[in-house]
Structure 1
Amino acid sequence: MTPKIRELLGLRGIGAASRRAARKLDFIGIGAQKTGTTTLHQLLALHPQIEMYRRKELHWFEKDDRFGPDHRPLSGDYDDLHRHFYFDRQITGEITPVYIYWRHAVERIQAYNPDIRIFVLLRSPVRRAYSQWGHYVRKSRRPKFRNLHIGPFQKRLRREMKAMGRNPDYQNVRRSHIGRSLYAEQIRRVKALFPPEQLLFVKSEEFFADQLGVTDQVCRFLGVAPLSEFARPAPIHDNVGVVPPIGLEDWNAAYQYLSADIDAVERELGWDCSDWRQPPASAVGENPEKARRI
């Protein structure tokens, strides 16, 4: 029996077509990449009142060839989006971290459902950039991605900054270590489209320190009971030890491009981001007096 037949015969498949026609996604996590969104997806998927996209990262709203200039699908409907969901729980949603970075993705989400709730995880931009680089270094070692050439971290940063200097509209999913870490403009774009009560910005460092507590915060924001009322899962540790700690030179190289944006994030969100200005122990241990600080 094929998975499709099992779905059609299963209880979740009964009435799914009519629900897909009548409902829309209630929430989307839109970013940022390498900030803990995979772990948050896994935790929200444990919640009996929440339906999550089964694989995380649907990547539906950043496909430019799918949309017209009015930010609506050229097909005229959202059937291709809704077919990925049963809509059989209290709320339904997904997490695709590139949405906050990819120009027009958030506009398309707003055109789809102006009442949707949006949450965003934001991590130290320097660490986020380095973690993204490490992600693609690991990926390039797989036979499937042998043509994915990833150079040294600082060289990648310099190339990206040159590309951004030549083209103010530069975007690239893989070559975006700095671009994806420039949060302030992305935050302003989201805030311009949605009212404050539909937005939740969370510091990744707080999520890493208290996964269940922050997940409960997200659940309350989404209008469902805290996950802790149903389950108390052990902390999830993804990618532990797979990326070498960032060194001082790499930290300084990224920080010089991102320090002003950290100031802007503090103004936009009212956060204290002093921890984002502190090099990690792996970098400070090399030569503390050479670490860039504000």
Structure 2
Amino acid sequence: MESHLKKLVTHYRKSLQIKPDNLAIYDKIAELYYEQRELDKTLEVCQEALQIQPDLASVPKVLNKMLQTLGFEGEEVTAFQNLLQSKLDYESFQMLLSRSETVKTPADVKTWKDAIVLGYDFKEKKQWDEAIAAYMKAIEIEPSLSLSYLTLNCIINYCFTPEFNQLERIITFYHQLIQGCLTPPYAYVVLGDMLTKQGKISEAIIAYKFAINQTIHLNKKITKKYINSPKNDDVSFLIIGMGKAGTSSLYYYLCQHPQFLPATDKELHFFNKNFDLGLDWYLAHFPPLPAEGGFLTGEATPWYLGSYEVEKKVFQLFPQIKLIAILRNPVDRAISQYYMSLKFMKEHRSLEVAMTSEVEILKDIADPTQVIEKYWQTEKGYLWFGLYVYFLEKWMTVFPREQFLILRSEDLYNQTDKTMKQIYNFLEITDYSLSEYPKVNSGSYSKTNNELRKKLSDFFKPHNQKLEDFLGMKFNWE
């Protein structure tokens, strides 16, 4: 088998001598190494591909599998894909491939690589205080490594409660560290998030704006004309839904467009959780846009669609904003959300028990958007969030139909180029094709038994028909 692998790699390497910029060949070589679990060589090939064409679309698709093999999950995968052009981020992969057994505590740490390995191990064991200490050590040793800030922020968000007593210590550490140090923009996003948790909103706004300013000056899309032009604070569009329907992939594709300037984070949860923080806090997460046009910005919080009275809050601040909703077969969406909850230990029931319980509660409710409080004490909303028509009806009593683009997630994955052109046309920007369209933040799980799937399909059937009638478009979900 090893001999066969070497022959294939040699064959593809010879092809590269003829066509050295053929990214498809790099992808095939990376796949061969990955199948043999030679992850270090897989990584080397991915690095070679980026040197040929240094944009995220050129990274071999096997890299996403490799991220998951190394233990990255959910939003960590999405965020890490946005950091791949950094040499240090690649080196962190190398470190994860061979863990040191001698490093047991932060006191044993000598290098930033050892600190991240230790932090990762503590995170897996849910020893949060120890994980935080390890990632802070990694930041202290190598302040320019984005991965440490990203993971530290994920841990803080997971652990944060009013009783969380580490925040002041971490913020003090941050302030001491960033004085005169070369730190990535995301370091200031994390600082802004922590200051927000402390209620220090004006200080948080300064941190977010500093992050945006750093990002702008590092962004290859930016020209001197942009830097010197008059600008407005504005948000061009929102992806309002739906969760587990492809919003991470869609936002990732948009981030590659030369006219798109991303927010500090994909999901800001302003209109459903953070509205009281004020408009200035929200706008601080976005790059300012030239008054003469040419660029756009937006965010994707996929739970906006089903959240209470979000549509009124959006209209209050941005009455002309463009709105995108991507809808997935509600059976598939519900099952995907269930497995995400199971993965993060927010669900302990079996799939059949969870789905059957919710069917029984929702089947006799005349207006599913007005579920009783008891519902939220027992259910997770797996089916409820798939009742799209009732949410869209509410939004379209506030916004005119022409401000919406409604998409099927099945089309995004099966006809990606065509669907993206539809989106670009709606956003009034030029067409832009990627060489690859990787699925971002996707999960995998066993096939659902036919009896349960039919039960869920029967439940959704009348609601799906209402959706088609209301929008005048076919979804063809079974």
Report the secondary structure of 1:255's partner residue.
helix
Structure 1's 40 and 104: CA in aligned 2 closer, same or farther, altered over 3 A?
A: same
Determine if the alignment matches structure 1 residue 168 to structure 2 residue 366.
no
Report the secondary structure of 1:235's partner residue.
coil
Cα distance in 1 for partners of 2:308, 2:213 equals 40
Determine if the alignment matches structure 1 residue 12 to structure 2 residue 213.
no
Q: State the one-letter code of the partner of 2:285.
A: H
Determine if the alignment matches structure 1 residue 30 to structure 2 residue 235.
no
Structure 1's 246 and 24: CA in aligned 2 closer, same or farther, altered over 3 A?
A: same
Identity of matched residues, %:
24
Cα distance in 2 for partners of 1:55, 1:241 equals 21
Structure 1 residue 172 displacement after superposition:
4.9
Determine if the alignment matches structure 1 residue 79 to structure 2 residue 280.
yes
After alignment, is 191-200 or 178-187 more displaced?
191-200
CA-based RMSD of the aligned residues comes to 2.9
Structure 1's 34 and 201: CA in aligned 2 closer, same or farther, altered over 3 A?
A: same
Q: State the one-letter code of the partner of 2:288.
A: F
Report the secondary structure of 2:325's partner residue.
strand
Structure 1's 240 and 196: CA in aligned 2 closer, same or farther, altered over 3 A?
A: closer
Structure 1's 55 and 243: CA in aligned 2 closer, same or farther, altered over 3 A?
A: farther
Cα deviation digits, residues 144-177 of structure 1 (max 9, x gap): xxxx233112211233346656972557598011
Please point out which of 397, 415, 431 is paired with 1:226: 431
Please point out which of 320, 323, 337 is paired with 1:118: 323
Report the secondary structure of 1:97's partner residue.
coil
Determine if the alignment matches structure 1 residue 205 to structure 2 residue 403.
no
After alignment, is 6-15 or 190-199 more displaced?
6-15
Structure 1 residue 103 displacement after superposition:
1.3
Higher fraction of helix: 2
Aligned length: 254
Cα distance in 2 for partners of 1:88, 1:149 equals 42
Aligned partner of 1:55 in structure 2 is 265
Give the conservation status (yes or no) of the 8 Å contact 1:59–1:96.
Answer: yes
Structure 1's 172 and 226: CA in aligned 2 closer, same or farther, altered over 3 A?
A: farther
Q: Which runs of 5+ in 1 are unaligned?
A: 68-72, 141-147, 278-294
Q: State the one-letter code of the partner of 2:435.
A: P
Aligned partner of 2:335 in structure 1 is 130
Report the secondary structure of 1:99's partner residue.
coil
Please point out which of 381, 386, 393 is paired with 1:181: 386
Aligned partner of 1:260 in structure 2 is 462
Cα deviation digits, residues 3-41 of structure 1 (max 9, x gap): 44974874737989x95xx42211000001111111001
Structure 1 residue 257 displacement after superposition:
2.2
Structure 1 residue 92 displacement after superposition:
1.2
Cα distance in 2 for partners of 1:266, 1:138 equals 33
Aligned partner of 1:282 in structure 2 is none
Please point out which of 329, 334, 349 is paired with 1:151: 349
Cα distance in 2 for partners of 1:27, 1:241 equals 27
Aligned partner of 1:291 in structure 2 is none
Report the secondary structure of 1:58's partner residue.
coil
Q: Which has the higher contact order (CA 8 A, sep 6+)?
A: 1
**Which of 1 and 2 has greater Rg?**
2
State the TM-score, normalizing by the size of structure 1.
Answer: 0.77
Report the secondary structure of 1:43's partner residue.
helix
